[in-house]
Structure 1
Amino acid sequence: MKGIKNHYDASFKLRAVELSYERSNISELARELGIKASLLYKWRKDYQEYGSNSFPGKGNLKLTPEQERIVELERKLKDAELERDILKKGNQHFLQERSMKYRFIKNHECQFPIEKMCIILKIHSSSYYKWKNKGCSNRLLRKNLMLDKIKYLYFKFKQRYGSPRIHSELNALGYRISVKTVAKYMQELGLRSKLSKKFRVTTDSKHNYLTVNNLLNRDFYASKPSMKWVSDITYIQTQEGFLYLTTIIDLYDRKVIGWSLSNTMSTEDTTLSAWRMAIKNRSIKKGMLFHSDRGIQYASKKFANTLDSYGVIRSMSRKGNCWDNAVAESFFKSLKTEMIYGNKLITREKMKKQIFQYIEIWYNRNRRHKALNYKTIFEFNNNLQFLKNVA
């Protein structure tokens, strides 16, 4: 009768299998027993694999104690792998708040079992379902939006920005949020700007050339362009040896107006080369202050005479005092922290291309500078020009 199912006990199955080995026509035997041939073949297969323990009832295979131990170990291994995958996906820094745990579970429902994620993240599944069915509040929706924007900006700027610059970028995009909130969200997400390292001293002040006094005296403010320039030299390691980067920065807007990258530390390749670029980019007048360290490239007669010919006043840091040239030192710190440290050594040619991109595309155009109230150099100059036009 339709709707009635036949149930076969273990004894019936076992006898049917034994009989099938004695008969040549299995299909005919199946018809005689009132079952499908495919079912009889399945019983034969189970019997070949598990022997007399094949038919414990309800279709479940009965395992030997040893087999049960193996299955249990496999289950535990599978659980451990699942827990590892969930924790790997849900970095602990991302899951400090309950709302973030809920959000993580919702985003990974198709990948991991919900109950398992709730256990690992130590929340009740009922709480999660209640949150999910209730939906997100406007406040939580805004927070989630900010978290996504912060992550996007952080990786867009190659992990170079901390909370103040991320805050400025968000404000520039029209989002109103405090820098403290940005810092809090970045901490929740486990995001922080790249760490700095100590630098090797490249200044060779052991020479007989004439040095001058520190006229800049750590006054790094300039009210107009080409009023005060600062310069310094650093080394950069590559696969093929060192490159030497010389920069000249205008303190008015912190722009790198002149720079050179050379294989040698000669005055011609370093300071003079950077100077030629600087005077092409910005005009100068007599009385401009040029500050540097006491290195031989700045103290040499050739470079000193060049500055004198333009009526430039020279200034030098005190011996062994890097803070006297803090702005130039800060640029090198930013360069090495944001671009070089943590990356593999590359060839000189590739390094030259990367430094060009860093200075001309990133630093001079897109990077937000603390000294400019977290404006880019472009925004700073355009804003001042606008104010002059209004006045």
Structure 2
Amino acid sequence: MQGKLGFMGSKQRTYTPEFREGAVRIVIETGRPIPEVAEELGVHSGTLHSWVSRWRRNGSASSDRPAEPAPPGGRMREAERAELERLRREMSEKNKRIRELEMELHGPLGEVTVTDPAALAAFIGNQRTEHCVPHRLACRVLGVSESWFYKWRDKPTTAREIRRGQLADVIRQIFEGSGGTYGSPKVWLLLVRAGWRVSVNTVARLMAEHGLAGRKIRRRRGLTRPGKRPAAPDFVRRDFTADAPDQVWCGDMTEITTGEGKLYLATVIDLFSRRLLGYAMGARHDTELVLASLNMAAATRGGDVKGVIFHSDRGSEYGSRRFRRACRRLGVTQSMGRVGSCSDNAVSEASNSVLKVEYVHRHTFATRTEARLRFATWITGFYNTHRLHSVCGYQSPIDYEHDHRANSALELAA
């Protein structure tokens, strides 16, 4: 059966060491089933399984080279694998408990963020029903009179109020589904797509009334250490657009704080769809880290990435002899911005800021292993598959790429 990427045929394929390493990295980093990853990459599941087994035995997915130290974010010790399984079970149990506690988070007379009179009156009434708190006491604590409470409690609910309450519920569902990151414009867009007729101002007002605020992106401190080797030319020149996938990729590094210390993250993003194609995490930001992210990106695209332009800053990791050699083997052309100019690599800078603000800053990580697992889950379960992006016409990166392939196929058939 032909793979999703369309490159399997009757002729037996050969796989480069970089492709094998990248394929193994996808399995290990994301925890996805081997058959699922194999089908996506167009590799026989038995072949991928043997690569993963070989990696876990000797730190290499290739049989034609000796064992070498596992790169950052690569082969995990037995204790780390056990820790990953424990964290998966713990996260599942916590998510179940969180759903059970949603109605208990604000106990009797807890913090009330609603400003709608009918909702406040209903809240006061619920205190006696659920917690045996007299109406008089609840009214006094919340600063309203009993007559005000009875007026709003007994007031017939209008159709407008019913619709407003339903709208508020849907807004909260969308907001929580985004991990608490969407502001009113994106929430409004999803409401319109779902068939709601509502203005963005009404959405913003309801979100404010219910204490729902999206996350704002702030500038971050960079990790760039200028290299001593000659830099590659700047082929991008701040034109961060692409007409199709795999024309231009960009890469950068950032750091994540954990209870064990810093965890460094290297990413590779496709400028066409803003899809995060490859990433690697480790305790040091070095050449191994950026190499691992590049190999994962190449494997995600099926291994044939000849002609791609890879744009980055002039960090020593990207200018190293090993990274330049890897790019040449893959047929990738390097491009570098100027020293000290974050605008020359603005997409990578902005994407890493999104990762930090929308996910990293909202969580704490006791260990590097926990951070690796949770970040990988967020990337595959939300960022690439569900998060709306303005460049993609407010579609997810993967949906945007699927639509592009479908439209291209129709044009060829016409």
Residue 263 in structure 1 maps to residue 283 in structure 2: yes
Residues 127, 264 of structure 1: CA spacing in aligned structure 2 closer, same or farther, 3 A cutoff?
closer
- Structure 2 residue aligned with 1:44: none
- Structure 1 residue aligned with 2:110: 88
Structure 1 residue 319, shift from structure 2 partner: 1.3
- Retained in 1: the 8 A contact 2:277–2:296? yes
- Structure 2 residue aligned with 1:22: none
- Matched residue type, 1:187: A
Structure 1 residue 225, shift from structure 2 partner: 0.7
- Retained in 1: the 8 A contact 2:274–2:397? yes
Structure 1 residue 358, shift from structure 2 partner: 1.7
Structure 1 residue 166, shift from structure 2 partner: 2.3
Instruction: Give the paired residue count.
Output: 303
- Structure 1 residue aligned with 2:171: 150
- Structure 1 residue aligned with 2:183: 162
Residues 237, 85 of structure 1: CA spacing in aligned structure 2 closer, same or farther, 3 A cutoff?
closer
- The partner residue of 2:353 within 333, 347, 356 is 333
Residues 121, 348 of structure 1: CA spacing in aligned structure 2 closer, same or farther, 3 A cutoff?
closer
Structure 1 residue 161, shift from structure 2 partner: 2.1
State the distance in 2 between where 1:128 and 1:241 align: 53
Structure 1 residue 321, shift from structure 2 partner: 1.4
- Retained in 2: the 8 A contact 1:364–1:377? yes
State the distance in 1 between where 2:203 and 2:215 align: 17
- Retained in 2: the 8 A contact 1:213–1:318? no
**Partner SS, residue 233 of structure 1:** strand
- Retained in 2: the 8 A contact 1:236–1:242? yes
Residue 101 in structure 1 maps to residue 90 in structure 2: no
- Retained in 1: the 8 A contact 2:216–2:357? yes
Residue 136 in structure 1 maps to residue 157 in structure 2: yes
**Partner SS, residue 269 of structure 2:** strand
**Partner SS, residue 236 of structure 1:** strand
**Partner SS, residue 380 of structure 1:** helix
Structure 1 residue 89, shift from structure 2 partner: 3.4
- The partner residue of 1:280 within 299, 303, 309 is 299
State the distance in 1 between where 2:126 and 2:400 align: 41
**RMSD, aligned α-carbons:** 2.7
Residue 291 in structure 1 maps to residue 304 in structure 2: no
Identity of aligned residues (%): 31
- The partner residue of 2:264 within 241, 244, 249 is 244
State the distance in 1 between where 2:191 and 2:156 align: 26
- Retained in 2: the 8 A contact 1:196–1:337? yes
Structure 1 gaps, min length 5 = 1-83
State the distance in 2 between where 1:258 and 1:178 align: 38
Residue 188 in structure 1 maps to residue 188 in structure 2: no
Aligned pairs (5 A) from 1:1-391: 88-91=110-113, 94-95=114-115, 97-110=116-129, 111=131, 112-123=133-144, 125-196=146-217, 199-205=220-226, 207-267=227-287, 269-282=288-301, 286-388=306-408
Structure 1 residue 239, shift from structure 2 partner: 2.1
Structure 1 residue 352, shift from structure 2 partner: 1.0
State the distance in 1 between where 2:299 and 2:350 align: 24
- Retained in 1: the 8 A contact 2:273–2:398? no
**Partner SS, residue 148 of structure 1:** helix
Structure 1 residue 165, shift from structure 2 partner: 2.6
- Retained in 2: the 8 A contact 1:368–1:376? yes
- Retained in 1: the 8 A contact 2:251–2:348? yes
- Matched residue type, 2:112: G
- Matched residue type, 1:338: E
State the distance in 1 between where 2:399 and 2:332 align: 29
- Retained in 1: the 8 A contact 2:118–2:153? no
- Retained in 2: the 8 A contact 1:86–1:117? no
Residues 387, 108 of structure 1: CA spacing in aligned structure 2 closer, same or farther, 3 A cutoff?
farther
Structure 2 gaps, min length 5 = 1-105
**Partner SS, residue 110 of structure 2:** helix
**Partner SS, residue 366 of structure 2:** coil
122-131 or 306-315, larger mean C-alpha shift: 122-131
Superposition TM-score, scaled by structure 2 size: 0.66
Structure 1 residue 310, shift from structure 2 partner: 4.1
**Pair member with larger Rg:** 1
Residues 113, 335 of structure 1: CA spacing in aligned structure 2 closer, same or farther, 3 A cutoff?
same
